[in-house]
């Protein structure tokens, strides 16, 4: 007598965890956010990115810290709020869909000099940390014989930082992203100082 094989029961659908909100920010995350906001404001309020400091030896160091803090900040906005996703003046690609993706790309570029992020023309031309003050085109441009390849800054009132064929603007991208993050996450939750030492009461 042949027995009919029973079909295995369908696998349960994975339960999607609830979306976290600002009220879910814990003590340590609040401290990290406080540091991100503080350092970003301190650096952006300085004149380190003014054209008069174009040759200052700390310009690149300041930019790297801005990218590290902004990358962390936007990841936390993504987790506890709504992803910052404007695309104005963003060179959209299959990898970079919005400002958050662009910040991830630039942060990875400043941290790893050997990666593909720096290629203008793969295995031929590299571009790493080109800074343009105001509206201008980087020389030599276009990269002969690659006539469709250009690196340029489109605004006379902004500072443009370039890696490979991607660029990020000081005002239109960085400053705007910080302000939008403030709108979502500030003010930060307050915690009694003993939470760090003793934990939350049951």
Q: For 129-182, what is each residue's pLDDT tens digit?
A: 999 999 988 766 656 666 667 788 999 999 999 998 899 999 999 999 999 999
Picking from 180, 158, 153, 182, the residue whose alpha carbon sits closest to that of residue 170 is 158
Q: What spatial distance separates the first Cα and last Cα of the chain, rounded to whole Å?
A: 61
Peptide bond before 183: cis, by omega within 30 degrees of 0? no
* The pLDDT of residue 197 is above 50: no
Residue 116 gets which letter from DSSP? G
Q: What is the pTM of this model?
A: 0.84
Residue 55, strand partner residues = none
Location of structure tokens 């250009």: 150
26-65 pLDDT, tens digit each: 989 999 999 999 999 999 999 999 999 999 999 999 999 9
3-state secondary structure of 136: strand
Please name the residues in contact with 43: beta carbons below 8 A apart, sequence gap of 6 or more: 62, 65, 66
């Amino acid at each position: 007598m042949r027995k009919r094989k029973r079909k295995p029961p369908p696998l349960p659908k994975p339960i999607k965890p609830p979306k976290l909100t600002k009220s879910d920010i814990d003590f340590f995350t609040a401290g990290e956010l406080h540091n991100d906001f503080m350092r970003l404001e301190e650096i952006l309020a300085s004149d380190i990115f003014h054209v008069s400091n174009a040759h200052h030896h700390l310009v690149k160091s300041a930019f790297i810290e801005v990218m590290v803090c902004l990358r962390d900040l936007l990841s936390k906005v993504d987790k506890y709020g709504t992803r910052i996703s404007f695309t104005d003046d963003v060179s959209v690609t299959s990898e970079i869909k919005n400002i958050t993706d662009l910040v991830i790309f630039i942060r990875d570029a400043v941290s790893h000099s050997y990666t593909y992020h720096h290629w203008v023309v793969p295995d031929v031309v590299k571009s790493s940390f080109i800074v343009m003050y105001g509206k201008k085109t980087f020389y030599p441009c276009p990269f002969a014989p690659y006539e469709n390849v250009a690196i340029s800054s489109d605004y006379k009132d902004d500072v443009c930082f370039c890696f490979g064929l991607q660029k990020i603007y000081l005002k239109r991208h960085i400053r705007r992203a910080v302000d939008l993050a403030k709108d979502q996450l500030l003010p930060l939750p307050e915690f009694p100082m003993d939470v760090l030492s003793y934990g939350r009461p049951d």
